[in-house]
């Protein structure tokens, strides 16, 4: 059942992306010949008006065919004025940008409603303890962390207080090289409230390589709060910006091994989606928002055959005052396609490596 939901979720993102192109093309007076989900042989289709709608056999993407997308295409005289390359540059950019914009707006909307309806703030109580960690030896679920190394941060709000507790624990580092599982050179002194009494315990945190810091090995509890629509919008906007800047950073540093490891393909995303569906609807919606946002951002990269490539060359045409040669765009498409395939292979390779190492876990 999970895999069916994942398939439907990915399909929905593709349909909405292509619907953005489709509706904007219609709104600007262009002639849309086809609106298809997936590629390859046609499984099912029907025609309504001048447009054919359908589903193809290979579940990779989708497309909208607008008359005149090829500058050298022969166009019947009666529809020539509605062809893509007969339109002003602003109309072409609007049509191409509409797909990624729909994905980005959808991501923002999902994040907004998740934050608005399910806002939580951390509490100082221990809710969950990971087995085999230092916390498993000294803490119990229900313990309340009163202070870390004598610091209670009582004047801060709950979220900032818990963040400071985490930072203080992470300040205890391993004596030598940081390797996964190494114990901190100095212990953390915890003051905890247990069964109505305050106790002081000492524990040495261990370094967690994925988290890139020392941890004790427990999770704080949380409680629901009402944050209001304005705060939810701010948080959604911050999340969109954080993912956007992070994605652009990864792609601008692909020649660095550490950044290449951050790229995931459809296999990795599907595996994480399967895990989130087992955890909660909220986490599944957040992942859907992340995938939708990533789809929008990546499609805006200025390389053909991505949407951003078409926008880029339309802007070049506007600046030059005349159309760009089809041969130039064809050569750009070959280079762009090679880059896209490289990213696909890189993502697939990383996915296989993570699956083999059992690293694709929801943390």
pLDDT at 294: 86
Residue 293 scores a pLDDT above 80: yes
Contact between residue 350 and residue 358 where contact means Cβ atoms under 8 Å apart: no
Lowest mean pLDDT among 14-23, 221-230, 280-289, 306-315: 280-289
- Percent of the chain surpassing pLDDT 90: 55
pLDDT at 276: 60
CA-based Rg of the chain, rounded to a whole angstrom? 26
User: What distance in Å separates the CA atoms of residue 61 and residue 40, rounded to the nearest whole number?
Assistant: 11
CA-nearest of 288, 289, 274 to 236 is: 289
Confidence of residue 358 (pLDDT cuts 50, 70, 90): very low
Region 40-67: mean pLDDT is 93
DSSP 95-113: HHHHHHHHHHHHHHHHHHH
Residue 212 scores a pLDDT above 70: yes
pLDDT at 23: 97
Residue 39 scores a pLDDT above 80: yes
* CB-based burial label for 192 (10 Å; 0-12, 13-18, 19+): buried
Average pLDDT, the chain: 86
Residues 6+ apart with CB under 8 A from 230: none
**CA 24 from chain center: how many Å?**
25
Contact between residue 201 and residue 104 where contact means Cβ atoms under 8 Å apart: no
Q: Sketch out the chain's domains with CATH numbers.
A: 93-119+227-363 (no CATH), 121-224 (2.30.42.10)
Lowest mean pLDDT among 48-52, 88-92, 262-266, 286-290: 262-266
pLDDT at 35: 97
Region 216-223: mean pLDDT is 93
- Better-predicted residue by pLDDT, 186 or 259: 186
Residue 50 scores a pLDDT above 90: yes
CA-nearest of 216, 158, 203, 206 to 179 is: 206
pLDDT at 72: 79
CA 355, 356, 362, 363 torsion: positive or negative? Answer: negative
Confidence of residue 315 (pLDDT cuts 50, 70, 90): very high
Neighbour count for residue 44 (Cβ, 10 Å): 9
DSSP 56-89: EEEEEEEEEEETT-STT----GGGGGGSGGGS-H
Lowest mean pLDDT among 51-55, 78-82, 215-219, 258-262: 258-262
Helix and strand element counts for the chain (H, E): 10, 9
Confidence of residue 273 (pLDDT cuts 50, 70, 90): low
8-state DSSP, 202? E
Neighbour count for residue 180 (Cβ, 10 Å): 10
Contact between residue 192 and residue 201 where contact means Cβ atoms under 8 Å apart: yes
User: What distance in Å separates the CA atoms of residue 119 and residue 113, rounded to the nearest whole number?
Assistant: 9
| Planar angle of CA 102, 23, 318, nearest 5 degrees | 80
Region 188-210: mean pLDDT is 93
Residues 320-338: tens digit of each pLDDT? 988 888 888 888 888 887 8
Contact between residue 103 and residue 295 where contact means Cβ atoms under 8 Å apart: yes
CA-nearest of 220, 178, 181, 229 to 204 is: 181
Residue 99 scores a pLDDT above 70: yes
Residue 259 scores a pLDDT above 70: no
Tokens of 9: 């979720």
User: What distance in Å separates the CA atoms of residue 13 and residue 230, rounded to the nearest whole number?
Assistant: 26
């Amino acid at each position: 059942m999970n895999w069916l939901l994942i398939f439907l979720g990915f399909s929905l993102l593709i349909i909405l992306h292509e619907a953005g192109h489709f509706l904007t093309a219609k709104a600007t007076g262009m002639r849309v010949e086809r609106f298809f989900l997936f590629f390859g042989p046609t499984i099912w289709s029907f025609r309504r008006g001048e447009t054919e709608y359908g589903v193809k056999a290979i579940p990779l993407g989708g497309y909208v065919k607008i008359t005149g997308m090829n500058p050298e295409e022969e166009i019947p005289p009666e529809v020539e004025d509605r062809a893509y390359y007969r339109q002003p540059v602003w109309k072409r950019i609007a049509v191409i940008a509409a797909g990624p914009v729909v994905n980005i707006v959808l991501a923002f909307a999902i994040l907004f409603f998740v934050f608005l309806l399910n806002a939580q703030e951390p509490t100082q109580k221990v809710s969950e303890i990971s087995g085999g960690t230092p916390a498993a030896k000294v803490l119990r679920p229900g313990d309340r962390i009163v202070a870390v190394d004598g610091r209670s941060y009582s004047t801060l709000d709950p979220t900032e207080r818990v963040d400071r507790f985490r930072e203080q624990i992470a300040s205890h580092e391993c004596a030598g090289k940081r390797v996964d599982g190494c114990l901190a050179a100095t212990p953390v002194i915890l003051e905890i409230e247990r069964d109505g009494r305050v106790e002081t315990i000492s524990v040495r945190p261990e370094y967690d390589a994925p988290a890139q810091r020392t941890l004790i090995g427990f999770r704080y509890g949380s409680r629901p709060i009402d944050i209001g629509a304005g705060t939810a919008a701010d948080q959604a906007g911050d999340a969109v910006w954080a993912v956007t800047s992070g994605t652009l950073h990864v792609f601008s540093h692909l020649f660095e091994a550490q950044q290449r490891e951050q790229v995931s393909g459809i296999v990795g995303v599907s595996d994480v989606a399967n895990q989130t569906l087992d955890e909660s609807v909220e986490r599944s919606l957040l992942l859907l928002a992340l995938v939708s946002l990533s789809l929008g951002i990546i499609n805006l990269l200025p390389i053909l055959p991505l949407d951003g490539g078409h926008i880029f060359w339309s802007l070049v045409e506007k600046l030059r005052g005349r159309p760009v040669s089809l041969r130039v765009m064809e050569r750009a498409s070959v280079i762009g396609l090679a880059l896209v395939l490289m990213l696909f292979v890189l993502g697939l390779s990383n996915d296989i490596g993570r699956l083999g190492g059992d690293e694709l876990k929801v943390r």
